[in-house]
Chain A
């Protein structure tokens, strides 16, 4: 009885905490935005607002694509192949996830900014009068995003690969599927929930990213920098409307991606216990590593 009472009390405390920390700020923003009808019309009629919103969307989508392009191959490399220093390098590669976003941005500035270490070194080496590049605008933002966000794809994909049942890959091979066919017909569909999860996280982080666009954006505005600029100009109602607009984009994006994840996950939940009974690719890699002692040709996970 006491236990039930304690659980109920804990539930109530958590609900109040959530209401205070999450619901209340959202409510305030929405109410503030609703109180300024002029701000809404201003938001809808000003081209700069739409441009910033669109910039946020496409920068986020491009960040997802770039982060995937870097993180997924790295995950395959570090999960499936064995080479000297793999473990240490694998841990270092995941480092951006523990760094605050601003640290990454400042590191980029110190290395590749106009007065950055690498930029200056190259300028001196090539005898150039000016810096060889200007780290500014959307490309610079994308570069920083790709650096700081590939780690989501890297970690999610590695976790997905570690859980893959090697016998499914072998089954595909036994059924005549080559390396490419196995990748596209078996591995990618099985990894889809992990990939969608990484995409959601990357998209949301990129959408809310402030430090990279603020420092490297130059004249290029995304919604987060636009909100701060509007607030600094003293137009708080418009800033609230901009915040709501960005939140709406985030919620829509989340809903689309989560729906995609839900459809790909339905079979996973049904098979979780069965899959765990099988051997994982990580286990198979252990097998090939064991084999390395006596046979360097042996690779039991992907011999096609």
Chain B
């Protein structure tokens, strides 16, 4: 499959042996791809390579079949929203949004249209510092979209917002991007954000692409122990506990999501050490007979702290033991 945005074996080498890539990804026209990974995984470097702020040491980036690997950022036609928005404080909202537009009669109309798009009509003359965090984020988005870029790049766009606003903005952002139909790549370290906003998620770890797929694929069929543990909550069972849950291979571990474990009359024995009530359900921390601790997500009255319980798994994921390989 060849995408609208093609990333072929792109690589960036820093000093001290730190390398990002080689990474190959194809992103379809209008698709939203989330780059998900922990700090230092190389996701921001990837975004900066796409924007042209970093020079690739190998590989190729193409937008609509045009090779842009060595095209400077000013001519790459990638709109970018920065983590702290990077709005120009000496310009008002209208001037910020119109910054990337050529000076013509249509400029004002385009600024108005871009502000309408983000529900900020009439904000043209407002000072940037007078706006709330959410409004600044929308101005940054309008500014990035106004020159009609081919690709939209978002660097942790919601990290500056408070949690309540973040959830609402996430939905609005997705709706807006889908309405515009622009191919989008965004960086986040939050799984929930990646799942909510992205059509597909690419998980990066230590500069390498671990897995790409839909949120469901990543959650239900992780390709590595890292993905299984990083994407969602995961109990990792080794040894006797893993064998009790049905694992047969010695060089493998068993990954079980907390909601895929349930209390029963038989199964893995243990004692309830802690109960964390979350409303609709509760997390029960169980200490197995071999000392391993794991979590069960069950109904709030599923067990009592201190009680001896038996746990069954309704779905398990067997994965090669990365700790064992190292």
Contacts and interface: CB of A to CB of B under 8 A. Distances in A.
Contact of A294 (B14, B99, B100, B128): B14
Interface string A231-243: 0000000000000
Contact of A174 (B12, B84, B144): B144
Given A172-B99, A300-B53, A300-B54, A271 B89 contact: yes
B51 interface: yes
A174 B51 CA distance: 7
Contacts of B222: none
A261 interface: no
Interface string A158-173: 0000000101101111
Contacts of B89: 190, 267-268, 270-271, 275
A91 interface: no
A129 interface: no
Given A172-B99, A270-B127, A167 B73 contact: no
A271 B128 contact: yes
A185 interface: yes
B78 A174 contact: yes
A233 B75 CA distance: 69
B127 A167 contact: no
Q: Could you tell me the dominant secondary structure of chain B's interface residues?
A: loop
B17 to A, nearest CB: 8
Contacts of A189: 88, 90
A270 B74 contact: no
Contact of A167 (B55, B78, B83, B144): B83
A174 B143 CA distance: 10
A271 B74 contact: no
Given A270-B89, A303-B73, A177 B15 contact: no
Interface stretch (A55-63, A79-87, A115-123, A285-293): A285-293
Q: Could you tell me the dominant secondary structure of chain A's interface residues?
A: helix
Contacts of B16: 293
Nearest to B90: A189
Contact of B74 (A173, A267, A278, A297): A173
A278 B57 CA distance: 27
Contacts of A48: none
A171 B144 CA distance: 9
B5 interface: no
A186 interface: yes
Contact of B84 (A173, A178, A185, A277): A277
B127 A267 contact: yes
Given A165-B84, A170-B86, A186-B88, A175 B147 contact: yes
Interface string B239-283: 000000000000000000000000000000000000000000000
Nearest to B19: A294
A168 B128 CA distance: 13
Closest 3 CB pairs of A and B: A293-B15, A270-B129, A175-B100
8 contacts: A165-B84, A167-B83, A174-B80, A177-B99, A186-B88, A190-B88, A298-B55, A304-B72
Given A171-B82, A174-B51, 20 more contacts: A165-B86, A168-B88, A170-B51, A170-B73, A170-B86, A171-B143, A176-B74, A176-B147, A177-B74, A267-B129, A270-B129, A271-B89, A274-B129, A275-B89, A291-B14, A294-B15, A295-B12, A298-B54, A298-B55, A300-B53
